[in-house]
Amino acid sequence: MNLENVKKIMLVTLKWIFICVLTGIFSGSASAFFLVALDWVTQYREHNNWMIWLLPIGGLIIGLLYYYWGKSVVKGNNLLLEEYENPQKTIPLKMAPLVLFGTLITHLFGGSAGREGTAVQMGGAIADQFTRIFKLDNTDRKTLIILGISAGFASVFGTPLAGALFALEVLYFSKISYKSIPLSFLTAYIAYFTVEFWHVKHTHYSIPILPEMSFTTLFWIISVSVLFGLAAMLFSRSTHFWSHLFSKNITFPPLRPFVGGIILALAIYGIGTTKYIGLGIPAIVDSFSNPNASYDFILKILFTGFTLGAGFKGGEVTPLFFVGATLGSALSIVVPLPIALLAGMGFVAVFSGATHTPLACTVMGMELFGIESGIFIGIACAIAYFSSGSVGIYNAQIVKGAKYHLYQKLRRKNMELL
C-alpha cells in the first residue's frame, strides 16, 4: 500500500470519526433537552389533571402541524427504515422539531406514548443532514441512518451498547455495511456521554435476587417468556388495528387525534386514574417490588395503541417496558420466581418480541439490571422473540431469518387445511 492510499484511508477515517462526534453531540444534546422537557410536562400534567380535558385540542394541533407542514415526515420511524432500505432523498431536518413538539404535546395533555421514537427520529434527521455537507452517496447515507438511530436510542435510555446494537439489529435484514458496526458503537457512546455531560439522569432498576438455574427454573422462564411474546404480539397488532381503523373512518387526518383525544379523555376520566397514560415510569419502578393487577398490562396496551393509532406522537418502547414489567410483576403471584426478575425479564422480553431485536434487548437488560441477570434475560428475550409472531411495531422493518420462515410455514399449513 503506497503513501497516497494511506492518506486517503486516514482522511476517510477522520471524516467518519468527525461525523460520529457531531452526530453524537447533536443527538445527545437533543435527547437531553427532550428528557428534561418531557419530565417537566409530565410533572405539570400530574399536578394539573384538568389538562387531560384539553387532549382533543392537543391532538388537533398535532394533526394540523403534520398535515400542513409534516406530510413528508409523518411516517416517523418507518420513514427511517424505508430510507435505509431504498434511499430516495435526505430526511428533512424538520422531522426533529415536529416530533419533539408533538411528543411533548401528547404527554402534556395525557396521551399514552413513549420517548424512543422521538429520540430516534431526531437522531436520524440530524445525522442525515451530513449527506449534503459531506456529499455522501446512498451507501454512506445508510450508515448515517444507523448512526442516528444508535445515537437517539443510546442517549434517551442511557444504554450505549444496546443503542448501538439496536440500530444494527433492527436493520439487520436490510444489509449492513461492516464499517457501520464500529461507527454505531462510537456514536452511541458519544451520545450517551453527551447526556451525562448535561447532567440528565436516567431511571435505575435492579434485580437484587436471582435463583439458581435448574430445570424447574428454566421451565418457568420459558413459560412466562411465551406470555411475554404473546403480549408483544397483542401490542403490535393493537397499534396497527387502531391506526387502520382511524385512517379508514376519518379521511381528514387532523381530525383523527382530535376525535381520539375526546375518547381518551373520557376513558381516563371513566377509569379514575392516570396510571396508564404518559410514560408510566412510576408504575414500572413499582412493579419490581409490588405485584401488579392482572389487567394493568392490558390497559396499557389499549391506551397506547389507541393514542398512537389516533395520530398522537411518541414512541412505543417505554409502554412496552410498562407492559412487560407489569405482566411479569402480576405473574409473580403464581410463578415461583423473584418478582424483580419476572418484571425485569418482561421489561426487555416484550420489547424484544415487538421489535424483533432479541440481542439488543438482552444487552439492554444486562446494562440496566446487571450482567448477572444475563442468562435469564437472554432466554426470555429469545423465547419472546420467537413467540411474538412476524408482525412488529415497525411496518417498514424487514423481517427474515428463522423466525420469518417458521411463520411462513405455519401460514402455508393453515392455508392447506382451509
Per residue in 305-343, pLDDT (tens digit) is: 999 999 999 999 999 999 999 999 999 999 999 999 999
Same fold across 3-197 and 215-405: yes
CA distance linking residue 136 with residue 5, whole number of Å:
20
Average pLDDT of span 68-95: 95
Share of the chain above pLDDT 70, in %: 95
Sequence spans of domains, the chain? 3-197, 215-405
Average pLDDT of span 49-76: 97
When pLDDT is cut at 50, 70 and 90, the band that residue 6 belongs to is: confident
What is the reported pTM? 0.95
215-405: which CATH number, 3.20.20.80, 3.40.50.1970, 3.40.309.10, 1.10.3080.10? 1.10.3080.10
Take residue 238 and report the three cell numbers written for it. Answer: 393493537
**Quick one: pLDDT at residue 159?**
97
The better pLDDT of the pair 414, 278 is held by 278
CA distance linking residue 12 with residue 251, whole number of Å:
49
**Quick one: pLDDT at residue 286?**
97
Residue pLDDT, tens place only, 366-417: 999 999 999 999 999 999 999 999 889 999 888 776 666 565 565 555 555 5
When pLDDT is cut at 50, 70 and 90, the band that residue 30 belongs to is: very high
- Contact, 316 vs 238, CB < 8 A? no
Q: What is the mean pLDDT of the chain?
A: 94
**Residue 62 pLDDT greater than 90, yes or no:** yes
**Residue 246 pLDDT greater than 90, yes or no:** yes
Picking from 91, 117, 148, the residue whose alpha carbon sits closest to that of residue 34 is 117
**Quick one: pLDDT at residue 397?**
87
**pLDDT-wise least confident of 255-259, 301-305, 390-394:** 390-394
Take residue 258 and report the three cell numbers written for it. Answer: 382530535
CA distance linking residue 153 with residue 161, whole number of Å:
10
Name the class of domain 3-197. mainly alpha
Tell me which amino acid residue 198 is: W
CA distance linking residue 266 with residue 262, whole number of Å:
6
Q: In angstroms, what CA-CA distances link 167 with 94, 171, 235, 298?
A: 22, 7, 21, 28
